[in-house]
């Protein structure tokens, strides 16, 4: 991928949901006159293992002031990339620790959003978990636990979506 010149005050986004950087950029634009540069390093379908493999090259090398990490959906739900919550936790902790060691001022963790279970079952019919929402909630718990341990802010995407009626077929 093309390399950006490091920008003081930039926000680097690394997630498994390719649109999240665009959403954040739109929110920053709406926020007002202060300049916010958002560098999206998300790759749709990526997992925490993939993020860990590329965090230094794709994010930390840019020397951003802030990093937003949004992983867990594919680790929990993509039948080709499933890992137990403990493996997800180790990967996420390692990314956080590397970011902090690189001098990143703020690392924000994002909770996994709720899902429309029917859609996930269509895409991943062999998923071994009988209750996907409950399974995903365990990954949400991991994100919150790591945020508490490392004293990091949490962007509660799960709570935000649930507050607005949850994931629905109509919204999908």
More confident residue, 132 or 158: 132
Q: Is the pLDDT of residue 60 over 80?
A: yes
Q: Is the pLDDT of residue 131 over 60?
A: yes
Of 65, 68, 63, 73, which is closest to residue 17 (Cα–Cα)?
A: 73
The answer to whether the beta carbons of residues 25 and 40 sit under 8 Å apart is yes
Distances (CA, A) of 171 to 45, 110, 165, 167, 168: 20, 20, 10, 7, 5
The answer to whether the beta carbons of residues 143 and 109 sit under 8 Å apart is yes
Q: Is the pLDDT of residue 166 over 90?
A: no
Is the torsion defined by CA of 2, 28, 159, 68 positive or negative? positive
Report the 3 state secondary structure along 3-27: CCCCCCCCEEEEECCCCHHHHHHHH
Q: Is the pLDDT of residue 5 over 50?
A: no
Task: Please provide residue 42's backbone torsions phi and psi, each rounded to the nearest 5 degrees.
Answer: -75, 145
The answer to whether the beta carbons of residues 104 and 146 sit under 8 Å apart is no
Percent of the chain with pLDDT over 70: 78
Give the separation between CA 116 and CA 111, rounded to whole angstroms.
Answer: 16
Could you read off the pLDDT of 138-156 as tens digits, one per residue? Answer: 999 999 999 999 999 998 8
Q: What is the pLDDT of residue 18?
A: 45
Helix or strand run (H / E) with residue 101 = helix 85-101
Tokens 């004293």 -> residue:
151
């Amino acid at each position: 991928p093309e390399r950006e010149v490091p920008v003081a005050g930039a926000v680097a986004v690394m997630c498994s949901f390719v649109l999240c950087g665009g959403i954040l950029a739109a929110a920053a634009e709406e926020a007002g006159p202060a300049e916010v540069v958002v560098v999206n390093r998300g790759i749709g379908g990526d997992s925490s293992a993939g993020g860990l493999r590329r965090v230094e090259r794709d994010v930390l090398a840019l020397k951003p002031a802030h990093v937003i990490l949004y992983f867990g959906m594919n680790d929990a739900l993509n039948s080709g990339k499933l890992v137990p919550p403990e493996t997800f936790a180790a990967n996420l902790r390692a990314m956080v620790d590397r970011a902090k060691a690189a001098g990143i001022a703020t690392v924000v963790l994002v909770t996994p959003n709720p899902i429309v279970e029917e859609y996930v079952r269509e895409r991943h019919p062999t998923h071994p978990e009988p209750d996907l929402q409950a399974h995903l909630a365990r990954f949400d718990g991991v994100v919150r636990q790591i945020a508490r341990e490392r004293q990091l802010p949490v962007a509660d995407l799960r709570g935000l979506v649930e507050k607005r009626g949850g994931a629905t077929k109509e919204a999908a």
